[in-house]
Structure 1
Amino acid sequence: MMEFVHVAVTVLGLLSLGHSAPVTSCENLIQPREIHGNQLVGKWTQIAESTGIPQFKVLTKMPLETAWMNITAANEANTFNNLYVHKMRGMCFTLKTNMTLVNNSMVHNYLYSAVLLNTGCPDCLVIYSNNTVGRTTVKALHLLSRRVKVSAAELEEFTKQAECLNLESPAILDSEKGFCPDPALTPGTKTIDLTVNNITPDELNLLEKLFTESGMKTILDTDQSSVDLFKED
């Protein structure tokens, strides 16, 4: 069960990019940008995220401490490899995925498609994604940056974007809690790989149930039970 708790938190925590002149109106803030593949490549810090699920912010803030992503070009044209590294409860987790650029959208090999949105942040990636799990679609907004912190004005703009899209107020990650290292550069670091190549119908059904408001409550209860059990040990 706990593996799916981590996957549920992780699967909404993928990709982003782009920059533009400062934007203030909802019309501009939710305007998709043209995607150029070379803009995606590199290391990005996850700054904040928002979804349409009321309790997801609480879930994100409880176990998820920090996260970063490294995007590299794959051999196939318009295809990229993604390494997502995040820290939960002081432990390091990795997730490897790939994406393809199709008709100005980033398409994940399972569950995910996204577009880039306007942003006044010069080194940020803002993506608006649709995460489809079975019959459930979860909309999410992600802010990534080359920096480990962004300005208050840049966070305010992102918060406004979430509001314009009728999403919940963003969860802001705390860079002061430290980041997990790159497993390729520090092979001795203990990490847990959450990469899933094939999802069975039963697993898909479980994920679908988790991506609901009641599912978020189940995850929160499970997470708290795990913390209580750890304290007892």
Structure 2
Amino acid sequence: MMEFIHVAVTVLSLLPLGRSAPVTSCENLIQPREIPGNQLLGKWILLAERTSIPGSKMLVQMLMENTWVNITAASEADTFNNLQIQKKMGKCFTLKTNMTLVNNTLTILHTYRLSGVLLNTGCPDCLVIYSNNTIGRIAVKALQLLSRRVKVSAAELEEFTKQAECLNLQPPAIMDSEKGLCPDPTLAPETKTTDVTADSISSDELSLLEKLLSSESGVKTLLDMIQRSMASFKQD
């Protein structure tokens, strides 16, 4: 059950410069932009996320305190290593994935498939990623705001909110990045961290996840399941 819970929360929190001209209209706000591979490298902090899943804001904000990712170049061309560090319910978790960059599209294959593009932004050190995720037979659209900073300005956050509205996505989940990120486990090995990279779910569990994510009432049911499991996990 805990593997199912970790996968369920992770698919709702995943994830992926320079200054652009200010963008205000929907036509400009949802315009894909070129992805400079070398500028993807380094540490990025997830500050806000919107998805097409009903009720996802409630689920993510209650369980996911914050997330950051470190992107490094892999040995293969146009391939990157992603180390994602998540703080959930006061505990630290890591997720390792590989990402490719082909024809200005970022693709990650894990328990789910994610394909994303960068959108225009006036934020000088931000990535705005619009992605299509496949969870079993469910297609989920997501918009994520990542920055080198732990907090962006009100105007930058407002621009992101407008982008999500232009894409008809759900209200945003705002991460509490100022509260304290989990440390890099390679630099702070003494920190207790759980690696969820190998976590997987069965076909029956995937079918259940599809059903739960298809409605707001289903997401509320999933939230109840996660709360019970995490409460048990905290006691262990």
Determine the C-alpha separation between the residues in 1 that align with 2:34 and 2:108: 18
What pairs with 1:146-161 in structure 2 (closer than 5 Å)?
Answer: 146-161=148-163
Could you say if the C-alpha distance between residues 36 and 166 of structure 1 is closer, same or farther in structure 2, counting changes exceeding 3 Å?
A: same
Determine the C-alpha separation between the residues in 2 that align with 1:131 and 1:191: 26
Aligned partner of 1:188 in structure 2 is 190
What pairs with 1:70-85 in structure 2 (closer than 5 Å)?
Answer: 70-85=70-85
Aligned partner of 1:93 in structure 2 is 93
Determine the C-alpha separation between the residues in 1 that align with 2:200 and 2:173: 29
How far is 1:109 from its partner?
A: 2.0
Aligned partner of 1:126 in structure 2 is 128
Could you say if the C-alpha distance between residues 230 and 79 of structure 1 is closer, same or farther in structure 2, counting changes exceeding 3 Å?
A: closer
Aligned partner of 1:43 in structure 2 is 43
1:173-207 deviation digits (Å, cap 9, x = unpaired): 11232110000011111111111387653443344
TM-score, length of structure 1 as denominator length: 0.91
What pairs with 1:3-82 in structure 2 (closer than 5 Å)?
Answer: 3-16=3-16, 19-82=19-82
Q: Residue type matched to 1:205 in 2?
A: S
CA contact (8 A) 2:4 2:200 kept: no
Could you say if the C-alpha distance between residues 194 and 19 of structure 1 is closer, same or farther in structure 2, counting changes exceeding 3 Å?
A: farther
Unaligned runs of 5+ in 1: none
Determine the C-alpha separation between the residues in 1 that align with 2:103 and 2:32: 12
How far is 1:132 from its partner?
A: 0.3
Aligned partner of 1:219 in structure 2 is 222
Secondary structure in 1 matching 2:151: coil
Q: Residue type matched to 1:184 in 2?
A: T
Determine the C-alpha separation between the residues in 1 that align with 2:67 and 2:121: 21
Q: Residue type matched to 1:25 in 2?
A: S
How far is 1:208 from its partner?
A: 2.6
CA contact (8 A) 1:13 1:142 kept: no
TM-score, length of structure 2 as denominator length: 0.90
Secondary structure in 1 matching 2:156: helix
Report how many residues are paired: 233
Q: Residue type matched to 2:45 in 1?
A: T
Secondary structure in 2 matching 1:217: helix
Q: Residue type matched to 1:35 in 2?
A: I
Aligned partner of 2:115 in structure 1 is 113
Could you say if the C-alpha distance between residues 70 and 141 of structure 1 is closer, same or farther in structure 2, counting changes exceeding 3 Å?
A: same
Of 168-177 and 138-147, more deviation after overlay is shown by: 168-177
Unaligned runs of 5+ in 2: none
Secondary structure in 2 matching 1:62: helix
The alignment's C-alpha RMSD in Å is 2.2
Could you say if the C-alpha distance between residues 223 and 13 of structure 1 is closer, same or farther in structure 2, counting changes exceeding 3 Å?
A: closer
CA contact (8 A) 2:150 2:178 kept: no
Could you say if the C-alpha distance between residues 224 and 203 of structure 1 is closer, same or farther in structure 2, counting changes exceeding 3 Å?
A: closer
How far is 1:63 from its partner?
A: 1.1
Could you say if the C-alpha distance between residues 30 and 187 of structure 1 is closer, same or farther in structure 2, counting changes exceeding 3 Å?
A: same
- Where in structure 1 do 4 or more consecutive aligned residues deviate above 6 Å? 230-233
